[in-house]
Structure 1
Amino acid sequence: MSSQSPGVIRRFFRGLWNTLDFTRRLVVNLVFLVLVVLFIVALSGSRPVLSDRTALVLDPKGAVVEQFSTDPVQRALGNVAGNETKEVQLRDLLRVIDAAAKDANIERIVLVPDDMGSVGLATARDIGAALDRFKSTGKEVIAVSGGMDQNRYLVAAHANRILLDPDGSVMLEGFANYRSYYKDALDKLGVQVHLIKVGTFKSAAEPYILNQASDASKEADSFWMGGLWQEYLGEIATLRKIDAAAISEDIAHYDERVAAHAGDLAQLALDQKLVDQLATRAEVRAQLRSLGAADGTDGFRQVDFKRYLSSLAVDALPQRGSDVAVIVAQGEIVGGEQPPGTIGGRSTAQLIRAAREDDSVKAIVLRVDSPGGDANASELIRRELAQVREAKKPVVISMGDVAASGGYWIAMDSDEIWAQPNTITGSIGIFALFVTIPDTLDKLGIHTDGIGTTPLAGSLDIRRPLSPQLESVLNSVIRRGYNEFIGKVAKARGKTPEQIDAIAQGRVWSGAQAKERGLVDKLGGLDEAIAAAAARAKLGSQYSVRYVEPEMSTWERLALGFGNSNALIGLARYSGFRLPAGVFDHQEILRVSGFVESLAGKRYGTFAHCFCDLR
């Protein structure tokens, strides 16, 4: 039996295939090797080696949030490309400050609040409390600013000294809540908005049916904003050791004060004792060199916030044992599965359920920062928390900047509710909006006509006027929803529905006012709420705290590690790699679309929402 060798063509293609296969394996192995090297660089490049007498430069850039609204891959790409996500997690700020307090190499904190984006009053108070803990160790905090609004100033006021640029200013103006009203515009378009609500002070949907705020809305807003303002003045007066009445007097006659200082806002702030010294950045650096350790020709020994945070992340390995689980509920409340930054009825309930079923979790803290939203989604979350308590695991609520309306709904079924004195809460009420456009169509010469098999058939058609029968149905549904709301609050708070109704009616309260009325148990921040949960679970001092969030994939973890690598970021920027500005900046879209998203797939909906926007 003889054998024949393969032909020339066959040998050619076999050789070509082997070459391609070898090349493929070589490329895959090289890519894997590069990833391993980058991972090692990411770890080694992220961990700073600190010398003694180092200053921690706390310069958060972006809005201070409870939870990132972008996924890890987006954040990693943004960091490497130079388009960093304009968000900073509150938990990261608090963790860095508390770690620095125990770090023998950190001598002081240099607080630079200028690039801190939107920061709520309760959030500012949490940061301030952490700075106070830092100062209690004998270390100092120096605030350096080119100019501050009143919320940033509330953080800076916790510093031992405040240094303001000679061309800067401190703007304390008080609080306001102004909205646009659309009735005339809608009338011109022929759009009819039908509002069905329960609660004299439930003003969330007034802009669609009025041209100005109702008297009840102004009365309620004046009360809760007045309470917040007095809290603010009292805190600033205590921190800066000045008279609150003097601050109010200066604001009331600000035009005269500015004129008397020839328009020099920085000198005015100094004379008002809102700051301690006027200094340029060069003068600030010189002071910090003299106070600490020199670094370079004119710098001082320092480590920035993000680099110090990355070093803590390396040490943040999961701890086993008894846990207090923290679940973040931030943003609008809508149905279904939602990404971070929005509260999904189903997705948030799943996180709560996962914590309940985890034997290592002994207590749950729900951190709420929400103006509310969809009533059905709110109820779904409340039920899950009720099941946690039935499982004999304590549930403690920590209210952030806002926990109103639906935000209060998800908070009420708990063992304990904590809020800051300047938290915005309450707004216990419910409403429904139904829009009809027959007049709009009539202006265009479009007319609607036909028949239905029942009086109710076609009544949800927005081309037709609202029928009295459907209006009656909606009224009954909303009335039931309100009664259910106050009934559940009454049961949770140990009161009668009548007692809750007297302080409900859609009325908004500050945290301190809510405590006086029995809607909140204690005043304090997230740390106090976590300690309370641990105490209720009888954990003593040996417990760990972990955030329960959707599990990240291996790729997301790897990408986030690369994105936080200072070495990799430096390499990318040195090479000139950048993405167009704004690629990952979709916060404004989220804010605008959150409420509209609640309507998705519905002809009408019931909402527990508070448009209590404070500026």
Structure 2
Amino acid sequence: MKTFFLSFLGGLAALLLFFIILPLVLIVSFLPKDGPQTASGAHVLHIDLRAGYPDQPISSDFGALFPEMSFVEMLLKLNSAVDDPQIRGVFIRASEVDIGSSRAEELREALLRLKGAGKFVMAHSQGFLVSGPSAYRAVSAADEIWMQPGASFEVPGMAMETLFLGDAFKRFNLTAEIEQFHEFKNAPDVYKQSDYSAPHKEAMTALASSIWTHSVADMAGDRKITPDKMKSLLEASPYGADQALTLGLVDKIGWPEDAADEARKRGDGDLVDIDDYHPSIASDGDAVIAIVGGEGDIINGSGGAPDLLSLNTARFASDTVAASLIALEDDPDVDAVVFRVDSGGGSATASDQVWRAVQRLQEKGKKVVVSMGSAAASGGYYVAAGADAIVASRSTITGSIGVFGGKVAIADGLRLVGVNPASITVGGDYASFNSAERLSDAQRTKLRAMLGETYDRFTTLVSEGRNLPIETVRSIARGRVWSGEDALKLGLIDETGDLIDAIAKAKELAGLKPEDKARIRLDFHRGSPFGLFGEAFTAAQMSAALPAAETITSVLGEARTKALLQHLERSQTQGVQLTSPMILER
């Protein structure tokens, strides 16, 4: 009955897509999107950071049906607005909670460029809640920060949180049979430990301290006080809105509607949602800089349906990303490529496939510059290591040059409920590796040998790609994550900066001068609404699990629920993994 019901839902969804939604999508897809689609005259761009944006355009077919603007597209639009005489300023609805330190840093740089061009920037907040400094840092460069009456200002510091499943595994007699290289490769710790190990704690403390220090410095510079003074003010919070005003942390107390009216008055024009602002992004010039990218866990295969269970639609699919890179090999129009990476890693073989695609581009004479997003760690660093240049924000989480692999032995847990797994294998001892039982000594030895080979390849590729002695790479690898700021000191990246800086670097490597014009071409893979027919059944089946996910979310919050489900998903992953621990910044 359940199967019939789910099949019926899938069929109903497919019919709905075919007869109602798909025709509308096809009509909209043929509407012109190039050039400003706003009336002439002065305008003020409106950005709502509470909405949340994927780093890159969603590549799934559902993403094609319900497209939403990505953070990359927002940065490019803001950069175009710098030279757009119709855009007088920007009005921002600030997020109340964390948006990610790297993202806050890139947005702040975009706002500083706008201010440098004589545009005004206003922001309104309904409160900055305890979730790390990024929500405040994202708008600290505004000319005016408004706060709603009665709201609270809570930016006392930052924390890096990890959800450990070790005690839960023990309770259900599950055993994480996972080997790792080396002591800082902490992703498997979530299955084996109940708290931070000494190396894990050391790495997380250093990472949080690095990001907090330069975040405070940025906010202090924006508010025109010393870093020590800003640090003292923030760490003594929370404050009410009136006290935040008295201390100079915000500029005005008022309602969002009043702030929006003030922005219209100051810009002498209407508010235009940035999603509806369609400038010709650097459309002049003979040179072309193509932007491709990958976001999320690195997996083998091509982009597929949204993963509704893990609340995550982003998948860094190796076939899809490699194909996007390889398609540029013989494109005579493309002078250089910016490869945007926002990933904490994943499959070793998938990472290797994308690494090779970068090498192929270089063999054809195309320069490749990696722009790192919030994270480019483990497999995310692997795919970037061979690029001609790497640009990351100071807050990017990167490195994690290490490897792990194994399985979760569930046999004892099944026996608790009267299920006795038994298997018959023919062949060598390793043939029973995927059984529910624990590893034998011989299997563990072979697993470690295989992981050691992958680790040696990883460190060798980093040594060659970054032109660092192998001994140096081994000393800074061992699975440890670094902030972008520390990665620069260690030689793991070439410079700190944002997406726009990466584009400038690509122009430089292509032999262009800073003042030379270049066309920016987005070559992200985008799904097709026609692919939805196959996805409709999958989505209907996954929707049966949504009530449980929603219940958990109501208790733990979305970020913790997403982390928990991702940990459980990763625990079932086969093969060698280049994955960094999922970190909740708050």
For the aligned pair, the TM-score class normalised by the smaller chain equals 0.7 to 0.9
1:532-571 alignment runs, 5 A limit: 532-540=505-513, 541-550=516-525
Shift of 1:156: 1.1
Query: Which of structures 1 and 2 has the bigger CA Rg?
Result: 1
Residue number in structure 1 paired with 2:80? 99
- In the alignment, which residue of structure 1 is the partner of 2:327? 354
Tell me the amino acid that sits aligned with residue 86 of structure 2: N
Q: What amino acid is the match of 2:170?
A: D
Decide which moves more: 169-178 or 417-426: 169-178
**Residue 128 in 1 paired to residue 108 in 2?**
yes
Q: Return the alpha-carbon distance in structure 1 between the equivalents of residues 290 and 198 of structure 2.
A: 43
| Residues in 2 aligned to 1:43 and 1:391: alpha-carbon distance in whole angstroms | 32
Query: Is residue 110 of structure 1 aligned with residue 91 of structure 2?
Result: yes
3-state SS, counterpart of residue 610 of structure 1: coil
Moved more, 410-419 or 127-136: 127-136
Checking the alignment, whether the CA contact within 8 Å between 2:264 and 2:271 is kept in structure 1 is no
What's the counterpart of residue 539 of structure 2?
none
Q: Assess, with a 3 A threshold, how the Cα gap between structure 1 residues 74 and 515 changes in structure 2: closer, same or farther.
A: closer
Q: Distance in 2 between matches of 1:304 and 1:161?
A: 19
Offset, 1:538 = 1.4
**Correspondences of 1:151-300 after superposition (within 5 Å):** 151-254=134-237, 258=239, 265-281=240-256, 283-284=258-259, 287-288=262-263, 291-293=266-268
Separation in structure 1 between the aligned mates of residue 154 and residue 91 of structure 2, nearest angstrom: 21
Deviation, 1:347, is 1.2
Q: CA deviation at 1:388?
A: 1.3
- Aligned residues of 1:405 and 1:610 also touching (Cα < 8 A): no
Of 468-477 and 529-538, deviating more is 529-538
Q: Cα–Cα, structure 1 residues 444 and 535, in superposed 2: closer, same or farther, change >3 Å? A: same
Structure 1 regions of 5+ residues with no counterpart? 1-32, 79-84, 259-264, 294-300, 557-581
Alpha-carbon distance between aligned partners in 1 of 2:91 and 2:430, rounded to the nearest angstrom: 67
CA contact 2:282–2:518 (8 Å) conserved in 1: no
Equivalent residue letter for 2:52: A
Measured in 1, the distance between the counterparts of 2:429 and 2:355 equals 33
Instruction: Tell me which moved more, 273-282 or 283-292.
Output: 283-292
**3-state SS of the aligned residue for 1:56?**
strand
Q: Does 1:331 align with 2:296?
A: yes
Structure 1 distance, partners of 2:517, 2:170, is 63
Which one of 575, 580, 584 corresponds to residue 609 of structure 1? 580
Shift of 1:62: 1.9
SS of corresponding position for 1:217: helix
The counterpart of 1:497, out of the listed 458, 462, 470, is 470
Secondary structure in 1 matching 2:187: coil
- Tell me the secondary structure at the aligned position of residue 325 of structure 1: strand
Deviation at 1:303, TM superposition (A): 2.5
Q: Distance in 2 between matches of 1:463 and 1:282?
A: 59
Deviation track 1:141-178 (CA, whole Å, cap 9, x = no partner) reads 12122223432211211111111112222321322122
**1:250 positional shift:** 3.4
Aligned to 2:45: 56
User: What CA deviation, in whole Å up to 9, does each residue of 1:286-337 have, x standing for no partner?
Assistant: 64465454xxxxxxx313224641x43xx56987953211111111101111
Cα distance in structure 1, aligned partners of 2:99 and 2:46: 18
Question: 2:488 is aligned with what amino acid?
Answer: K
Q: Count residues in correspondence.
A: 530
Q: CA deviation digits over 1:452-509, x for unaligned, max 9? A: 5555165324333321110111011111111111111111111222211111111111
SS, match of residue 418 in structure 1: strand
Aligned pair 1:322/2:312, yes or no?
A: no
Query: CA 1:353 to 1:319, structure 2 compared with 1: closer, same or farther past 3 Å?
Result: farther
Q: How does 1:410-559 map to 2 (within 5 A)?
A: 410-447=383-420, 453-454=426-427, 456=429, 458-540=431-513, 541-550=516-525
Following the alignment from structure 2 to structure 1, what is the Cα–Cα distance between the partners of residues 241 and 497? 33
Q: Counterparts of 2:375 and 2:63 in 1: how far apart (Å)? A: 27
Q: Deviations over 1:424-449 (max 9, x none)?
A: 11111111132222322333444456
Residues 591 and 393 from structure 1, CA distance in 2 versus in 1: closer, same or farther, beyond 3 angstroms? farther
**Where do residues 68-107 of structure 1 align in structure 2 (5 Å cutoff)?**
68-69=57-58, 88-107=69-88
CA separation of 1:219/1:483 partners in 2, compared to 1, >3 Å: closer, same or farther?
same
Are the aligned partners of 2:182 and 2:479 in contact in 1 as well (CA < 8 Å)?
yes
Asked if 2 retains the 8 angstrom alpha-carbon contact of 1:325 and 1:545, the reply is yes
Given residue 526 of structure 1, which amino acid in structure 2 is its aligned partner? L
Q: Which runs of 5+ in 2 are unaligned?
A: 1-22, 305-312, 532-545
TM-score, normalised with respect to structure 2: 0.81
Whether the 8 Å CA contact 1:61–1:88 is kept in 2: the answer is: no
Q: CA RMSD in A?
A: 3.5
Q: Secondary structure at the match of 1:408?
A: helix
Q: Which amino acid aligns with 2:373?
A: G
